[in-house]
Amino acid sequence: MTSLSISHGHVAADMLPAREAPPIKRVPIVKMLFGDVMSAALTAGALVTVLALMPALKWGFVDATWATADPAACRAGGACWAFIGAKLRFILFGLYPPEEQWRPMMMMGLMVLMVLVSLSPALWGRKLVTAWLAGVAMMLGLMWGGFAGLPFVPTSQWGGLPVTLLLALLSLGCGFPFAVFLALGRRSSLPIPRFLSVGLIETIRGLPLVGLLFVASILLPLLLPPTWTIDKLGRTFAALTVFAAAYLAEVIRGGLQAIPSGQVEAAKALGIPHWKAIQHIVMPQAIQKVIPPLTNTAIVMVKNTSLVMIVGVFDMLSAGRSAAMDPVWPAPYREAYLFVGLIYFALCVAIAYYARWLELRVKAKDYR
Amino acid sequence: MMSAEKPSNREPSAIAIRNLDKWYGTYHALRNVTLSVKPGERIVICGPSGSGKSTLIRCVNHLEEHQQGEIVVNGVTLNDSLKNIDAIRRDVGMVFQHFNLFPHLTVLENCALPQILSRGTPRKLAEERGMQLLERVRIPEQALKYPGQLSGGQQQRVAIARALCMSPKIMLFDEPTSALDPEMVKEVLDTMVALAEEGMTMIVVTHEMGFARRVADRVVFMDRGAIVESSAPDAFFDAPTHERTKSFLSQIVH
């Protein structure tokens, strides 16, 4: 019986030898571009768009002034990229005293280093949180100074990219743990935490961020006793943090709802205390499930920091705008905004790619 | 904690359930259920769906709350005291129909983390014990995989190992093979038979009548929230006394 089935398999293999895969069908390029009405229309549309963009490209590249010491040379009509070079330090660091600008530079270096170290989930844990607390203290210390021979620089002189990065990172970083408790509170069976969470989330979500920033920067100092002076940057940061927390909380709640009840039941049956089950069993799974919407909120928050401009905080967008106001240069607003926009774009794309990598890692565990 | 134990005039039971009633809203899910399980005894509970079998065993470790009657596990009365609930859950392991493994943890972490979280066992010891139990269910080679990478039968064996890591005195099985492909049922039943042969006290909700005949000391038939019949497997299968039992058996045993 055994030998029969083997010889049978052998015969079958002889009769049906492996063959080469058929060649991949190639569509001629003309057919691809103009094969049917739809393709032809799209091709024509694309050509028209490219032609319409030609003047912009001419402005940006062909006629552009790339480098000059003389602002008057920029009046020829093309883009004035020389302006970006001349004003780079101002756009990046704002009013921060020029001879001290190595400090925000180092601060950003430290931030990038810490972010890079924190990318791999393998290192996530209590030690990393401690390292971040110390790191943030060092970053703020570098910016403020007032010790070890570093001159004190008040937050009113901070500006540019460091302010944008600090606001984005700290509002998300401080908002996240806050959001975890809001999400748990909203799902709690106890009435008081639930009502507090629902009330806070719905209030914050119901207000525009601009309104919240006005409340924090203008209304709050009027309401608080005059002795309580909280720094304007600090108040702006607080407003961004609660705003981020409310949105993150709803995203995390979505993740919590996706966890089957069997997970908590198994934890209970194994005698795992409730809060430890939340921390080690429920929350990690909930957060892994909502990486895409968390990314979305992170990107939105990075861009939202630019709104602090309207309450007079000197972030990167404000710095770019102020730089372009310099009467020596021929009002290069387009160049300034394009440059600042490029930096925002780079930041957001980096976040998006990191999130994609994280998601692939989670998928690699192949769980259902 | 054990001092809460009251002097008993009955023979010592691993589980004593007396006059248990449970309602879901207005639906009467368990009706005056009385069941006593001796240490080392193996009970199989069967019955049509919705008959309250799962609800009954989920009341034993307080995954469901009963409204009337009494449950005493190894001398500890199940009431609202969190201390008593904890004490009972320490003694009682449970295996679920859908495994309920933790998908974000490896197989070994699934076995080790509960010991660390509920007992403060040092990680090294917890992992050693996890490996021992994975060897006992014969899948130590899967220790570093994630549950989603395993077959259903393998996952259920991990779930059994995970429960055994906590050194329970009693094991509850809630339809452990119902979610499995047919060719995987045997490997899980074999593991359960081996456990029974080691003297574990077990309550198993299942429709595997072959397992019941081979392993059970007693088969309990439930219908509409009440225990209809309870007898040794031979008597149960060969000479059922109630009409309801007869018609149920005629439908599932061929």
Query: Is B95 a domain residue?
Result: no
Judged by CB atoms closer than 8 Å, whether chains meet at A272 and B100 is answered as: no
Of A205, A231, A207, whose CA–CA distance to A220 is shortest? A231
Q: Which of B100, B110, B167 best tests the A interface by mutation, with the highest count of A CBs <10 A?
A: B100
Consecutive 10-residue averages of pLDDT for chain B (254 residues): 47 90 95 95 94 96 95 93 94 96 96 96 97 95 94 96 96 95 93 94 94 95 95 93 92 70
**A284 vs B92, B104, B166: nearest CB:** B104
Count how many domains chain B has: 2
Which pLDDT value is given to residue A34?
Answer: 87
Residue A61 pLDDT exceeds 90: no
- Percent of chain A whose predicted confidence (pLDDT) is above 70: 95
Q: Distance, in angstroms, between A270 CA and closest chain B CA?
A: 6
- Taking the Cβ of residue B179 and every Cβ of chain A, the question of whether any pair is shorter than 8 Å is answered with no
pLDDT at A152: 93
Considering only alpha carbons, which residue of chain A is nearest residue B147?
A: A367
Q: Which residues of A touch B147 (CB under 8 A)?
A: 367
Using N-to-C axis directions, what is the helix angle for B182-197 and B152-164, rounded to 10°? 20
Q: For all residues of chain A together, what is the average pLDDT? A: 90
Angle at A281 between CA A279 and CA A285, to 5 degrees: 100
Residue pair B165/B7 in contact by the 8 Å Cβ criterion: no
Q: Which residues of A touch B (CB under 8 A)?
A: 260, 262-263, 265-273, 276-277, 280-281, 284-285, 288, 365-368
> With contacts defined as CB-CB under 8 Å, which chain B residues touch A285?
102-104
Q: Specify if B244 maps to a domain.
A: yes
What is the rounded average pLDDT of the residues A214-237? 84
pLDDT at B181: 92
pLDDT (0 to 100) of residue A282: 96
* pLDDT mean over A340-365: 92
Q: What angle do CA B214, B216, B220 make, to 5 degrees?
A: 130
Cβ-defined contact of B103 to A265 (cutoff 8 Å): no
The pLDDT score that the predictor gives to residue B144 is 94
Q: Which of A262, A271, A366 sits opposite B100 (nearest CB)?
A: A262
Residue B215, min C-alpha distance to chain A (Å): 24
Delineate the domains of chain A, giving CATH numbers in brackets: 87-364 (1.10.3720.10)
Confidence of residue A6 (pLDDT cuts 50, 70, 90): very low
CB B111 within 8 A of CB B132: no
The neighbouring-strand residues paired with B173 are B95, B204
Interface with B, mutate which of A270, A276, A279 (most B CBs under 10 A) = A270
Question: What residues make up the domain containing B41?
Answer: 14-74+170-186+196-253
pLDDT higher than 60, residue A12: no
Taking CA atoms, what residue in B is nearest to A288?
B104
The CA R_g of chain A, rounded to the nearest whole Å, is: 28
Shared domain for B224 and B150, answered yes or no, is no
Are B34 and B50 contained in the same domain?
A: yes
Q: Which of A146-155, A220-229, A282-291 has the lowest mean pLDDT?
A: A220-229
Across the interface, whether the CB atoms of B96 and A262 are under 8 A apart is answered: yes
B159 is a domain residue: yes
In the numeric block, which tokens belong to residue B10?
Answer: 């009955």
How many angstroms separate the CA of residue A302 from the nearest CA in chain B?
29
In chain B, which residue's Cα lies nearest the Cα of A286? B104
DSSP β-bridge partners for residue B174: B205
- Looking at the fold, whether B176 and B156 belong to one and the same domain comes out as no
3-state secondary structure of A361: helix
- In this prediction, residue A16 carries a pLDDT of 83
d(CA A279, CA A265): 15
Q: What global pTM score does this model have?
A: 0.86
pLDDT band at A3 (very low <50, low <70, confident <90, very high): very low
User: How confident is the model at residue A11, as a pLDDT?
Assistant: 52
pLDDT at A4: 44
Interface contact A367-B148, CB threshold 8 A: yes
B25 shares a domain with B49: yes
Q: Is the dihedral of CA A252, A254, A256, A258 positive or negative?
A: negative
Query: Are B248 and B201 found together in one domain?
Result: yes
Let me know if residue B56 belongs to a domain. Answer: yes
Which chain B residues are within 8 Å of A272, Cβ to Cβ?
114, 117-118
pLDDT given at position B254: 52
Contact A114, A135 (CB under 8 A): yes
- B55 and B130 both lie in a single domain: no
pLDDT recorded at residue A13: 54
CA distance B236 to B216: 11
Residues B182 and B107 in one domain: no
pLDDT at site B5 = 46
DSSP per-residue letters across B201-232: EEEEE---HHHHHHH-SEEEEEETTEEEEEE-
**Residue of chain B whose alpha carbon sits nearest to that of A281:** B102
- CATH value at residue B54: 3.40.50.300
Contact at CB, A269 and B63, closer than 8 angstroms: yes
Look at A266 and B96 and tell me if their CB atoms are within 8 Å. Answer: yes
Contact A269 B94 (CB under 8 A): yes
Q: What are the start-end ranges of the H helices in A270-308?
A: 274-277, 283-289, 291-304
Judge whether B248 and B47 are in contact, CB under 8 Å. Answer: yes
Burial class (CB in 10 A: 0-12, 13-18, 19+), A284: middle
Q: What pLDDT, on a 0 to 100 scale, did the predictor assign at position A368?
A: 43
- Residue A217 scores a pLDDT above 80: yes
Write out the two tokens for B229. 């019949």
Find the mean pLDDT for residues A90-101.
92
Residues B137 and B211 occupy one common structural domain: no
Q: Given this model, what pLDDT does residue A228 score?
A: 75
Within 8 A of A363 by CB-CB distance, chain B residues are none
- Chain B residues with CB-CB distance to A122 below 8 A: none
Size of interface A-B (CB pairs under 8 A): 73
**Same domain flag for B64 and B174:** yes
Does residue B249 share a domain with residue B180?
A: yes
Is B103 within 8 Å of A262 when comparing Cβ atoms?
no
Give the contacts of A105 (CB within 8 A, at least 6 positions apart): none
- My answer on whether B110 and B162 are in the same domain is yes
Question: In the predicted model, what is the mean pLDDT of residues A145-154?
Answer: 90
Residue of chain B nearest A273, judged by CA positions: B118
Q: Using the beta-carbon criterion (under 8 Å), do B104 and A285 form an inter-chain contact?
A: yes
Does residue B3 belong to any structural domain of this protein? no
- On the CB side of A333, how many CA atoms lie within 13 Å of its CA? 4
Residue B11 pLDDT: 60
Mean pLDDT of the A321-325 span: 91
Give me the residue from A266, A267, A366 closest to B149, CB to CB.
A366
